[in-house]
A and B are shown apart, each in its own frame.
Chain A
């Protein structure tokens, strides 16, 4: 994350403008490290002044016991970082009620990153040389099947990789939002996957796994889809669409395109941002906020967007992005929805992934899978405090 967000540049910028102030960046290995931080914070101690979390919904749990700062109660939204200077509804990704628990950085959304070369080879491009949007998952399956390569009975190149690893539940949320327009029950707050639309998708997924059309590499290696797409080895990958600019240097800017998964142009997908949080136990809160304002919300965001597809959250910098994928990506971001802000979201993500993988590998039928998943959601704590 340090490299992707060009954090060294942010620090240089801030230190140059604030002589005598030093910012030290420390990388933590994964989200589990946050538990150590939280333990410290709950004892009113903090060895960090700012923490950047990947997927700000993770941060919502720290609202309990006021472990993190509510930016609405600070001077953060003054001057260049006033609320009206943020792109669209960006701030809503990291707010709950009237609490702004994190500052978003890098807008992303789940969708299909596609390599046009393979579509051309399979004769799937339309008369204008574009990839036609699949109307439903059956059509998407057919496209993927047409690009799947076999040697006898062995699949040597699957048509598509779907993120079914640690972020499998995010994928389900994205797909359901696209095909149904919501991933909630009628009460608009209880997550559900037991819907007709999602059952149809799950059936196609299972068929794709059985036929080798959809690869299951991500079960063991969450980066398998991304690595293979960036290396030009697979036609499509469904996870964050930020891989499109990331793959451009290797597969060519003209070949690396965002392909809207069925329904996403109308209903959106799953949108997310990294979140910048400040622990309440930080002794340097004012300086931390100054660093976020001057270092993180700076023009460094332009380079991050162009290189890694993480769109700037500040309007001025967003407008400076000039890339063919920008409009398509932003149109999706605008109508996409963040993950539910549940206290037990981490447990839903881990156990949900396990259940989905069991269904896809045939260890569970669709009814058992959905019944167990719904039971998991039912018993989980859906509050944030």
Chain B
């Protein structure tokens, strides 16, 4: 005899069958499995260090000499703003950041606009602009170091012997007035290619109809650029702006390789001071606090950039 038991269902209750439940559970499990590697990566390499260094920033902890971190509240944060090395590094980071931001954004936009035209050898130009991205920054720094060498470097040779203007030759990296400019040039050289590609992608996203309609209405050349193309790139500005702000303020490799923060402290940047404090003086608590201060400043600027972009986009809409 076969007995079949059917659970009574209310009229408006959806009928749930067992295979559906199993399917959902399987779907859920496979979903978890799919996100697990990414979650583990984010947890182990980002979230945990972030929380751990956040806690560390409220402690006094020299890991060579102290047995355990000692909680000291906000003391490290207060100490940072009274530390002339940190405030100098912060000021230098801002100087680098402002010039880097303006140079990279303006140059990339101009190059992208040029590449957007139908030029001969366009593919070659695009590749050429992109090439610096594949060169490791530290290696590029070493090459720049030799180019800028005062007595035997290529730049001074060109200025003095080729262009016959020896008075322009400088000890570029050993002079406080030109060292910062030199590392900004390296940073910009390495970054312009990537930002140009982002701008190009934005330009290619502008509808062809819009461009043609503008031309039919008499907007050509510079007029078209200023009245049609540039306003259409608002979303790209947010993206490129965010990327450039982050890269500008987290500068580290360029001064580390080219000037070691010198001469004196003229190119000392925040992350270099954090690195020295953590890995030369072993003062993890104070280094974490300095890192967090810069992290918060970056966050504020990125959010500001996002909202300014959004407000303008809303206005246009």
Contact = CB atoms under 8 A, between A and B. Distances in A.
Interface of A: 31-32, 35-36, 38-39, 42, 61-62, 64-65, 67, 151-158, 165-166, 215-217, 219-222, 224, 228, 233, 343-344, 346-347, 350-351, 353-355, 357-358, 360-361, 363-364
B157 to A, nearest CB: 11
A148 B179 CA distance: 24
Q: Tell me whether chain B's interface is mostly helix, strand or loop, or mixed.
A: loop
Contact of A219 (B169, B174, B278, B280): B174
Interface of B: 63-65, 67, 85, 145, 148-152, 160, 166-167, 169, 171, 173-176, 179, 258-266, 268, 275-276, 278-282
A64 B65 contact: yes
Contacts of B176: 361, 363
B265 A358 contact: yes
A217 B149 contact: yes
A203 B64 CA distance: 39
Which of A157, A165, A219, A358 is the most central at the interface, judged by chain B CB atoms within 10 Å of its CB? A219
Contacts of A165: 260
Given A38-B282, A350-B276, A216 B160 contact: no
B264 A355 contact: yes
A233 B149 CA distance: 13
A199 to B, nearest CB: 19
Contacts of B261: 354
11 contacts: A35-B63, A35-B280, A61-B282, A64-B64, A156-B151, A166-B260, A228-B152, A347-B280, A354-B261, A363-B264, A364-B264
B175 A361 contact: yes
A221 B144 CA distance: 12
Contact of A38 (B64, B152, B263, B266): B64
A355 B171 CA distance: 19
A209 to B, nearest CB: 9
Contacts of B63: 35, 38-39, 42
Contacts of A156: 151
Which of B166, B258, B278 is the most central at the interface, judged by chain A CB atoms within 10 Å of its CB? B166
A154 B167 contact: yes
B145 A361 contact: no
Contacts of A42: 63-64
A246 to B, nearest CB: 19
Nearest to A67: B64
Contacts, number: 110
A165 B276 CA distance: 16
Q: What 4 pairs between A and B have smallest CB-CB spacing?
A: A358-B264, A220-B173, A219-B174, A216-B174
Contacts of B64: 35, 38, 42, 61-62, 64-65, 67
Nearest to A351: B85
B158 to A, nearest CB: 14
Contact of B166 (A31, A39, A154): A154
Contacts of A31: 280
A238 to B, nearest CB: 17
Contacts of B167: 152-154
Contacts of B152: 228, 233
A227 to B, nearest CB: 10
Given A42-B63, A354-B268, A224 B166 contact: no
Contacts of B85: 351
B280 to A, nearest CB: 5
Given A35-B282, A65-B64, 9 more contacts: A31-B280, A42-B64, A67-B64, A157-B151, A217-B171, A221-B145, A228-B151, A233-B151, A354-B265
A228 B152 CA distance: 10
A32 B281 CA distance: 9
Contact of A217 (B67, B150, B282): B150
Contacts of B148: 220
Contacts of B67: 65
Contacts of A224: 149
A33 to B, nearest CB: 8
A358 B150 contact: no
Which of B149, B276, B282 is the most central at the interface, judged by chain A CB atoms within 10 Å of its CB? B282
A31 B279 CA distance: 9
A151 B166 contact: yes
Contacts of B173: 219-221
Contacts of B281: 344, 346-347
A330 B310 CA distance: 72
Contacts of A228: 151-152
Nearest to A154: B166
A283 B286 CA distance: 33
Contacts of B179: 220
B206 to A, nearest CB: 44
A353 B268 CA distance: 12
A31 B276 CA distance: 11
Nearest to B172: A220
Nearest to A35: B279
Given A65-B64, A154-B160, A154-B167, A219 B145 contact: no
A32 B275 contact: yes
Nearest to B65: A64
B268 to A, nearest CB: 7
A343 B282 CA distance: 11
Which of A151, A154, A157, A228 is the most central at the interface, judged by chain B CB atoms within 10 Å of its CB? A154
Contacts of A347: 280-281
Contacts of A363: 176, 264, 266
Contacts of B278: 35
Nearest to B258: A220
Nearest to B170: A154
B65 A65 contact: yes
A118 B265 CA distance: 35
Contacts of A233: 151-152
B149 to A, nearest CB: 7
Given A65-B64, A219-B259, A220-B173, A357 B166 contact: no
B205 to A, nearest CB: 43
A354 B166 contact: no
A220 B280 contact: no
A62 B169 CA distance: 46
Contact of B280 (A32, A215, A343, A355): A32
A222 B259 CA distance: 10
A182 to B, nearest CB: 27
